[in-house]
Amino acid sequence: MDRETRDMLLETADRFFTERCGRAVVNDVEKGVWPSDLWKEIEEMGLPLVAVPEDKDGAGGTLADMLALMRLAGSHAVPVPLAETALANLLVAAAGGTPAAGPATLALGAVTLSGGRVSGTVKRVPFASVAERFVVVAGDTLAVVPAAAVTVTDTPSHAGEPYGTVSFDNAAASFSGKSAVTADRAFELAALMRAMQMAGAADRVLATAVEYCKQRVQFGRPISTFQAIQQMLAELASYAAAIIASAETATRDADEGGLADGGRFSIAAAKTQASDFAQRMAAIAHQSMGAMGFTHEHVLHHYTRRLWVWRRDFGSETFWGEKIGAAYAKAGPEALWPALSASRFAA
């Protein structure tokens, strides 16, 4: 997908999300209401197939195209598994399958796959109770398991989205195939997906806090003119910039390096950065907005609570930080600077 086409896609999606993913829709999802009409429109636009090749009925976009869409979705707190389905569809296509319609999700964890049957339990699976199929990867084999073949225990996330624990008890897969995307790589790509969503949410948190502080008047002038508030907003902006820059860099490196292993260091760094700063951004944004930021009626919590949840999804800052540290320790001191400057894991 060329740059002009991508820009048109993102512009169209931005207008659509603005019109159709308002506060009421997001709040209703927290109450257990599945927005079927919203999902139907998203599928009609072809968004879950953005990175699927055209010969598999997709849009023929790249990994970078898909991730740019995920950042946009994060900035609108889109309350459906668009990100999970888009990545699941890409992984299925990479394994030689043809993606099916309907919402899907990723169950990436300690599962075994033998003879087309899946066993194991995966916790904190996003949108588990509404997904029609689950994509799992064991070693270098991918499998798609229909929802009817698994047991889901609902455990809503802190953001109110339908997360759950998924149990596979010798569940029969509707499709399985070898793939260049291994289980570890699928987890990396899911982490990158979340980092880009967090970049979108971070951008919106910053914009929301800045706009509120410009409008809120105290002692006869906007609170944005107070030095203490300016310092908080400056710190908030620095965190948002770091999250966005690291996520965009990882997206570029992953896209240029290839689906199988591109941008491994950048992805680890981006998820570490995003997860580490998520808590700080949420705290500062709510503090700068005072009581208003803590009300359910305001939209700020749609983004800050997702930042809290996404921080842990597919590896927290501790998980990815340990990965980076272990790689550098194994490579030795002479490899530290070359590895850092080359944006890759030490060999």
pLDDT tens figures, 21-77: 999 999 999 999 999 999 999 999 999 999 999 999 999 999 999 999 999 999 999
Question: Is residue 347 pLDDT above 50, yes or no?
Answer: no
Residue 80's pLDDT band (boundaries 50, 70, 90)?
very high
Kindly report, residue by residue over 304-336, the tens digit of the pLDDT. Answer: 999 999 999 999 999 999 999 988 888 888 877
What pLDDT is attached to residue 177?
96
pLDDT in tens, 164-214: 999 999 999 999 999 999 999 999 999 999 999 999 999 999 999 999 999
Mean pLDDT, the chain, integer: 93
Q: Looking at the structure, give the CATH architecture of the domain made up of residues 3-178.
A: Beta Barrel (2.40)
Tokens describing residue 144: 């798609």
What is the structure's pLDDT at 291? 73
| CB 201 within 8 Å of CB 310 | yes
CA 184: distance to chain centroid?
16
Q: Helix, strand, coil % (nearest 5) of the chain?
A: 60, 15, 25
CA distances from 187 to 107, 243, 251, 264 (A): 10, 19, 15, 11
Contact 284, 307 (CB under 8 A): no
- As given in the structure block, the two tokens for residue 202 are 């971070």
Percent pLDDT > 70 in the chain is 98
Is it the case that residue 344 has pLDDT exceeding 80? no
> Do 3-178 and 183-342 agree at the fold level?
no
Local confidence band at 108 (pLDDT 50, 70, 90 cut-offs):
very high
Output the pTM of the full model: 0.94
Q: Give the C-alpha separation, 234 to 11, whole Å.
A: 28
SS3 120: strand
Domains of the chain, by residue range, sit at 3-178, 183-342
Between residues 292 and 270, which one has the greater pLDDT? 270
Superfamily assignment of 183-342 in CATH? Butyryl-CoA Dehydrogenase, subunit A, domain 3 (1.20.140.10)
pLDDT, position 327: 84
Confidence (pLDDT) at 343? 53
Averaged pLDDT, 224-249: 95
Residue 223 has pLDDT above 90, yes or no: no
pLDDT for 91 beyond 80: yes
Residue 346 confidence class, pLDDT cut points 50, 70, 90: very low
